[in-house]
Structure 1
Amino acid sequence: MPASVITSAVLIVLALVVAVIVATLVAAATAVLARIDGATYPKALVRAAAAFAATMTMTMLIVTTVMHVLT
């Protein structure tokens, strides 16, 4: 395999890992803020899940755009 293919694969995996970490932190913060606001645990979990999904979507959109621009 050429080095550029390996480098691209490593960058994709690294971007995915960073996206998951950022989305998890956003979801945790959303859940804590929802609980402080007085939401029940199930409602806080739903808000956290929505924040996780939105963050992953936006992060992957940005990563995909940057990858297309760079290649």
Structure 2
Amino acid sequence: MQLVPISIYLLLCLVLAVVGRRSRIGAFGVFLCSVIFTPLLVGLVFALLRPFPKKASSGSSADS
């Protein structure tokens, strides 16, 4: 009976590890943090601390 909730929990931890594989602590660190704290908390921290993507320049300058 306990296998389904534990499997869902570990699956969420694994998904976060894949998303955070290029972070400073790496995939294993993200997985470990999400197992210890909770995937929801670690996911929220990643969402808040992720840098904004740089805007691509169009290649043409309005000054010229």
Q: TM-score, normalised by structure 1?
A: 0.39
Structure of larger gyration radius: 2
Q: TM-score, normalised by structure 2?
A: 0.42
